[in-house]
C-alpha cells in the first residue's frame, strides 16, 4: 500500500449522503479521500446546495497519493441507474448503491484503500428492488467472507460493543450463550489491539439483569453463562472486568480506566453512548479484514438538498477510520 487512501460511499442517492460528501469537502482532509459515487449526482446536488466544489475524476489507473485541496473532492464515477430527486426513493438505483459498496469493499481487500467510510443506505428500497439486503454489515461480511462481525459504536471517550444487536428484548436472554459471548469478546479484544493500537485492552462487561443478577435473585444468566465465559476468556489472557451492573458501570469511576464496554443488548449500552455523543458518534464494524466506519444516523430523506444537516457524525467516522488505519499500519 503506497498511501493511506480511503473510500467514501454516499449511500442512498435520494438521502443526505451525497450532501455529506460535498459538505465535508469544503475543508481539506488529512488523507486522500475518494467518493465512490455518481459524478452527475454530486454535480446536481452541489448546485442545489449552492456549493462550488471541484469534482476531480480518479480511477484505479490514477489513484491520488495526496489529499484533495479544500473545496475539492476526488470522485470515482459510478453511474446511476435513474435520475435522482432528493427525498424520493427509487428502487431502480438500488443496484447503484450496492455497486458503490462493492467497489469500496473490493478496493480495501486489494489494498487500494486503507479503509471505507459509509453514509446511510435505505434497506427497504433495496429489498423492494428484489435484492435481499439486511444492511451494510451483513453485505460486507459476505463480500469479505467473514463469518462473525461485531457492532461497536464509539464517540470521543467511550466505545460500546454489543453481544446481541437487533433482537426483540424477549429473545435476548436465550441469544446470550457462552459461545457467543466468548466469540464477540475475542473479536472485540483482537480489533482493539489490531485496529486501535491498544496493547492490552481493558474491557468492562455488563451483566444482563438488573444489579447483574444480584447473586441469582434477579436472574441466573450471570452465574450460569456470563461469569463462566469471562473466566475462560481471562485464562486466555483477556483483561475483562465484570459482569457489572449496567446502571453503575457507565459512571466516570469505571469508565476512566477502560478501553471499551461490552453490553449484552442494544438498548443497554447505546442510549448512554448516544446521550454522550449524539451527532458525533460512529458505527464501527469489528471482525472484518478491512476497516469500515459509518455515520450513526439514517438517510434523512426530508433533509436532502436542504443544507440543514450536521456533518458531525461523518467527521468522527472519518477521524476514526484514519486513526484505525494508522494504528493498524503501526501494529503490522
Residue 217 assigned ligand-binding role:
no
**Residue 68: half-sphere exposure toward Cβ, Cα within 13 Å:** 24
Task: Annotate 267-323 with DSSP letters as a single string.
Answer: HHHHHHHHHHHTTS-EEEEESSSS-EEEESS---GGGTTTS----HHHHHHHHHHHH
Residues 6+ apart with CB under 8 A from 70: 25, 26, 27, 28
Residue 122 assigned ligand-binding role:
no
Residues 6+ apart with CB under 8 A from 89: 12, 14, 122, 124, 125, 301
* Euclidean distance between CA atoms 265 and 263, whole angstroms: 6
Residue 155 sits at the vertex; the CA angle it makes with 140 and 157, to the nearest 5 degrees, is: 135
Q: How far is CA 200 from CA 197, 235, 237, 258, in A?
A: 9, 14, 9, 10
Q: Pairing mode, if any, of strands 115-118 and 282-286?
A: unpaired
CA 9 to the chain's CA centroid: 12
* Euclidean distance between CA atoms 256 and 273, whole angstroms: 15
Residue 122 sits at the vertex; the CA angle it makes with 158 and 297, to the nearest 5 degrees, is: 25
CA quadruple 112, 280, 137, 76: dihedral sign: negative
Residue 283 assigned ligand-binding role:
yes
Residue 137 assigned ligand-binding role:
yes
Residue 266 assigned ligand-binding role:
yes
Residue 332 assigned ligand-binding role:
no
When computed from its CA atoms, the radius of gyration of the chain, rounded to whole angstroms, is 21
* Euclidean distance between CA atoms 207 and 242, whole angstroms: 7
Annotated binding-site positions: 136-137, 166, 211, 266, 274, 283, 292
Annotated binding-site positions for a divalent metal cation: 166, 211, 266
Annotated binding-site positions for substrate: 136-137, 274, 283, 292
Amino acid at each position: 500500500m503506497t498511501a493511506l487512501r480511503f473510500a467514501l460511499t454516499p449511500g442512498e442517492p435520494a438521502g443526505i449522503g451525497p450532501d455529506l460528501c460535498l459538505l465535508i469537502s469544503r475543508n481539506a482532509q488529512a488523507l486522500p479521500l475518494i467518493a465512490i459515487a455518481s459524478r452527475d449526482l454530486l454535480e446536481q446536488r452541489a448546485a442545489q446546495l449552492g456549493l462550488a466544489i471541484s469534482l476531480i475524476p480518479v480511477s484505479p489507473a490514477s489513484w491520488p497519493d495526496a489529499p484533495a485541496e479544500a473545496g475539492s473532492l476526488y470522485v470515482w464515477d459510478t453511474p446511476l441507474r435513474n435520475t435522482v430527486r432528493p427525498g424520493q426513493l427509487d428502487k431502480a438505483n438500488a443496484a447503484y448503491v450496492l455497486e458503490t459498496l462493492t467497489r469500496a469493499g473490493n478496493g480495501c481487500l486489494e489494498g487500494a484503500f486503507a479503509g471505507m467510510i459509509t453514509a446511510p443506505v435505505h434497506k427497504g428500497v433495496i429489498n423492494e428492488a428484489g435484492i435481499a439486503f439486511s444492511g451494510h454489515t451483513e453485505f460486507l461480511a459476505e463480500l469479505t467472507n467473514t463469518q462473525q462481525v461485531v457492532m461497536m459504536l464509539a464517540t470521543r471517550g467511550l466505545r460500546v460493543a454489543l453481544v446481541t444487536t437487533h433482537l426483540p428484548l424477549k429473545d435476548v436472554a436465550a441469544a446470550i450463550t457462552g459461545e457467543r459471548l466468548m466469540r464477540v469478546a475475542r473479536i472485540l479484544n483482537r480489533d482493539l489491539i489490531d485496529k486501535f493500537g491498544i496493547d492490552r485492552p481493558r474491557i468492562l462487561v455488563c451483566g444482563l439483569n438488573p444489579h447483574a443478577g444480584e447473586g441469582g435473585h434477579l436472574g441466573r444468566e450471570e452465574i450460569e453463562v456470563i461469569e463462566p465465559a469471562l473466566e475462560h476468556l481471562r485464562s486466555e489472557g483477556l483483561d475483562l472486568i465484570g459482569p457489572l451492573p449496567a446502571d453503575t458501570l457507565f459512571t466516570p469511576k469505571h469508565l476512566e480506566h477502560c478501553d471499551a464496554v461490552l453490553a449484552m443488548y442494544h438498548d443497554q449500552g447505546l442510549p448512554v453512548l448516544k446521550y454522550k455523543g449524539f451527532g458525533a458518534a460512529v458505527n464501527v464494524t469489528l471482525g472484518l479484514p478491512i476497516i469500515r466506519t459509518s455515520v450513526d444516523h439514517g438517510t434523512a430523506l426530508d433533509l436532502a438538498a436542504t443544507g440543514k444537516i450536521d456533518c458531525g457524525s461523518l467527521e468522527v467516522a472519518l477521524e476514526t477510520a484514519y486513526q484505525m488505519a494508522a494504528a493498524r499500519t503501526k501494529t503490522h
